[in-house]
Structure 1
Amino acid sequence: MAIKERKERERQDMRNLIIDSATQLFLKQGYDKTSIRTIAEDIEYSPATIYLYFKDKDEIFYVIHENAFAILDKQFRKHDSIENPFDRLIAVCKTYVKFAMDNPDYYDLMFIMRAPLSQIKSVEKWDAGECAFEYVLDTIAACLEANLIKPVDKYVLAISVWSFGHGLVSLYVRERLSVMEMPDDVMLTMMESSVNFFLENLRV
């Protein structure tokens, strides 16, 4: 392996180490109580080392967001082959629910944890997050064009659909549904049935 390639791999390995540590610390003690110093202590490097890879804590949080939304968007796009846009919308919403159930830590960081989004606001385009939302928006637009759902503004519909899904899975992620004492497979079926119920009420 060439020296340049080895150095690049080592650099990426260090970035991943920092990101993995920060992810766990954010989840364990929250955004505000996590600092560059605590991340450095966790991976047993100096804070100065971390600043070689990230300018601040907010940038690390942004990268975690990007990675998580990229995974979600990739899963959404597996449904490209579904020709009927309403069926595709159902599949996308169920994928959203399954993603949250399979990745509760990621979901917490993406949608629930209190943290400033100054890094996201400062970039010209938030690629991964916007792509995931635009996929839902485009699918809803296709449903409207095919007269499959009620004629409501596509943005209103997109926000309504996403908010319903978020509320549903947030109850699961924050263990507010644990009182129902359902195994995860039964819980998933119940949540998917809730998605069906909500979306069927959008039909014309």
Structure 2
Amino acid sequence: MGIVERKEREREEMRELILEAARKLFLAQGFDKTSIRNIAEAIEYSPATIYLYYKDKNELLYSLHEAGFRKMMEQFSIVATVQDPFEKLVAIGNQYLKFAIENPELYDLMFIMDAPMETLSCREEEWDEGARSFEFLRTTIAECITAGHFKNTLDVESASLTIWSFMHGLLSLHLRKRLTFLDDNREMERIQDSFKLFVEMIKSSM
């Protein structure tokens, strides 16, 4: 490995170290209460080092946000080989559940925390990552309608929002520990059962 390649690898490793520390602190104590100095202390470097890689705290947050969506969309890519649109929709749902359960902190940052949306608002930018992932769902539902599914609706956006809302609500209850009141150690099983029931409800409305 040459000097240039080694330096680039070291820079990438430092970026990852900074991002990981920022992610933990943002989630543990909140975006507003976390400073660049806090992040620097967590990785035992000076704040000046972080500024070599990221302009400010907002850029750090946005990088984490983007990374989360890239990872989620990579997981969605495995459903591309599913031919039947409805089966593809179910597969997307399963992957969405899997991503959130395996990456609860990322899901929190992407879909629950206010800070990323406030950051975008301050920068007068649109939520492109959310729009792209929603378009992936919307396109799949449009394919379902073309294939003869969802005969009772032609409103692709409403159908997409309804399905996403159910999935997000179920996961938010889990991630915010609102299902612990059931107290029977069957939370994961209940989530899967709830998803299966939702799929059956959709089928019965076709």
TM-score (norm 2): 0.89
More off after superposition, 43-52 vs 191-200: 191-200
Task: Say how many residue pairs are matched.
Answer: 202
RMSD: 2.0
CA distance in 1, matches of 2:27, 2:74: 24
The alpha carbon displacement at 1:123 in A equals: 8.4
Q: Gaps (5+ residues) in structure 1?
A: none
Return structure 1 stretches of 4+ with deviation > 4 angstroms: 118-128
CA distance in 2, matches of 1:132, 1:70: 10
CA distance in 2, matches of 1:10, 1:125: 32
The aligned counterpart of 1:139 is 140
Is residue 170 of structure 1 aligned with residue 172 of structure 2? yes
Alpha-carbon deviations, 1:11-32, whole Å to 9, x = none? 1111101000001101110111
Contact 2:137–2:160 under 8 Å retained in 1: yes
Contact 1:90–1:196 under 8 Å retained in 2: no
Q: Gaps (5+ residues) in structure 2?
A: none
Structure with more relative contact order (C-alpha pairs < 8 Å, separation 6 or more) = 1
Q: Superposed, which structure 2 residues align to 1:46-195 within 5 Å?
A: 46-117=46-117, 120=120, 122=123, 128-149=129-150, 150-183=152-185, 186-195=186-195
Partner AA of 1:32 in structure 2? D
Partner AA of 1:69 in structure 2? F
Contact 1:18–1:50 under 8 Å retained in 2: yes
Name the SS for the 1:163 alignment partner. Answer: helix
Would the alpha carbon gap of residues 91 and 116 (structure 1) be closer, same or farther in structure 2, given more than 3 Å must change? closer
More off after superposition, 12-21 vs 174-183: 174-183
Partner AA of 1:72 in structure 2? M
Partner AA of 2:43 in structure 1? I
Contact 2:54–2:60 under 8 Å retained in 1: yes
The alpha carbon displacement at 1:55 in A equals: 0.9
Name the SS for the 2:8 alignment partner. Answer: helix
CA distance in 2, matches of 1:120, 1:105: 19
TM-score (norm 1): 0.89
Name the SS for the 1:148 alignment partner. Answer: coil
